[in-house]
Chain A
Amino acid sequence: MSPMKETLTEFERNAREVLAASLTRIDARTRSRLNRARQAALEHAAARRRPWWRGFALMPAAGAVAAALLVSVLLWHREPSAVELPLLEGRNASVEDVDLLADSEALDLIEGWDGPFYEWAAAQTDANGESDG
């Protein structure tokens, strides 16, 4: 506060005293609201002063979370199936064969497998091809 240097009249001195007394008559509700307004203003000032790089402060944490998610997704896709796939003529069935194997008709075909017949049919086909050629 910059004090008034001029010589004050009696009226001015009294007026200052009266006005100072008027400040003490301000009620608690108003004082509380003024206090809250001041806090809000200080928040604004602090937010304005916050350095720009503070906005990137959470970047490492966010990056770590994103990386963890990516790794978990990749591992989930690469994880071997818990179901043991059946062997078919000494080879592991590929993932695409799971649908075929799960199909009930395909299972009937496997159960009714007649190996000698197909071998005989194949031999006949080969023999006919050679005789035609």
Chain B
Amino acid sequence: MSEFATLASPYSMPAAFHGDVDLTDPEAKTQSRALNQFLAGVELKAFKIAQAALRNEDDALDAVQDAMLQLARAYADRPEQEWKPLFYRILENRIRDMQRRRTVRGRVIAWLPFRGEDDDDEPDAIAQAPSPEPQPVRRLELDEAVGALEKALEGLPRRQQQAFLLRTLEGLDVAETAAAMGCSEGSVKTHYFRAVQSLRAQLGDLYV
């Protein structure tokens, strides 16, 4: 799985090469390019949001992949401005499904007399490799702040975490966040306000 990581050039592939698109159909070509740009623009943020909720990299990747497929399969024909709330709504549903399944699995495993050790926890050499980029002081400060914020985010209730990340990381407005979360705009404001209060209490003004 990871052996191609160093060979792939994730963000250098032109949109025109994506999928088996009928090149004689300009509408299909335009839509494919737009969908590619949209997904490329949200995939990292979506991964971060899923990772914060699921606290597991592989599960987060699965959730994002499922959300991408579902959007492409069912909603690609919808207007582009609807894609973002739809995508995050799908992602949220997927995250909730995975959390429920994990809870059930945890209960079942807790009853089992013998619990197998997970053999797949070997560290990935590529993932563990240090970044070739230089590590200036600024970068180190940011890294520390990222770690502190991520840790504080993990402690937030799920809805607060979701509202905060959709508003702050993804930049959705209140209405879009409400559509993505499947709740009222008032609820979004409440969740977001409480999240900010809680994080601020832990991190101060998060000076970086």
Q: How far is the CA of A37 from the CA of B57 in the complex (A)?
A: 14
- Judged by DSSP, the binding face of A is helix
Q: How far is the CA of A2 from the CA of B124 in the complex (A)?
A: 37
Interface size on B, residues (CB 8 A): 66
Partner of A2, one of B41, B149, B165, B172: B172
Also in contact, A45 and B35, with CB within 8 A (given A12-B196, A34-B47, A35-B11): yes
Interface centre among A9, A33, A43 (most CB of B within 10 A): A33
Is A32 an interface position by the 8 A CB rule? yes
- Residues of chain A within 8 A (CB-CB) of B71 are 41
Partner of B72, one of A15, A35, A44: A44
Q: Is A29 in contact with B5, judged by CB distance below 8 angstroms?
A: yes
- Residues of chain A within 8 A (CB-CB) of B36 are 38, 42
Q: Mark A7-48, 1 if CB is under 8 A from B, else 0.
A: 001111011111111110111111111111111111111111
CB contact list, B1-47 vs A, under 8 A = 1-2, 4-6, 8, 10-11, 13, 18-22, 25, 28, 31-32, 35-36, 39-41, 43-45, 47
- Residues of chain A within 8 A (CB-CB) of B126 are 27-29
- Residues of chain B within 8 A (CB-CB) of A5 are 173
Q: Is B4 in contact with A18, judged by CB distance below 8 angstroms?
A: no
Q: Is B150 in contact with A22, judged by CB distance below 8 angstroms?
A: yes
Is A50 an interface position by the 8 A CB rule? yes
Is A55 an interface position by the 8 A CB rule? no
Residue of A nearest to B62 (CB): A37
Q: Is B149 in contact with A22, judged by CB distance below 8 angstroms?
A: yes
Q: How far is the CA of A18 from the CA of B169 in the complex (A)?
A: 9
In the complex, identify which listed stretch (B92-100, B138-146, B154-162) lies at the interface while the others stay far away.
B138-146
Q: How far is the CA of A50 from the CA of B76 in the complex (A)?
A: 13
- Shortest Cβ gap from A43 to chain B (Å): 5
Partner of A23, one of B48, B172, B199: B48
Is B68 an interface position by the 8 A CB rule? yes
- Residues of chain A within 8 A (CB-CB) of B208 are 14, 17-18, 21
CB contact list, B160-208 vs A, under 8 A = 165, 167-173, 176, 196, 199-200, 203-208
- Residues of chain B within 8 A (CB-CB) of A23 are 44-45, 48
Q: Is A4 in contact with B173, judged by CB distance below 8 angstroms?
A: yes
Q: How far is the CA of A16 from the CA of B145 in the complex (A)?
A: 11
Partner of A38, one of B6, B39, B173: B39
Q: Is B1 in contact with A33, judged by CB distance below 8 angstroms?
A: yes
Is B61 an interface position by the 8 A CB rule? yes
Residue of B nearest to A48 (CB): B73
Also in contact, A49 and B39, with CB within 8 A (given A10-B205, A21-B145, A22-B48): no
Q: Is A42 in contact with B22, judged by CB distance below 8 angstroms?
A: no
Q: How far is the CA of A27 from the CA of B47 in the complex (A)?
A: 12
A-B contact pairs, 6 of them (CB 8 A): A1-B170, A29-B2, A30-B47, A35-B43, A41-B65, A42-B72
Per CB-CB distance, the 6 closest pairs between chain A and chain B, nearest first, are A46-B19, A37-B65, A35-B10, A41-B68, A45-B72, A41-B72
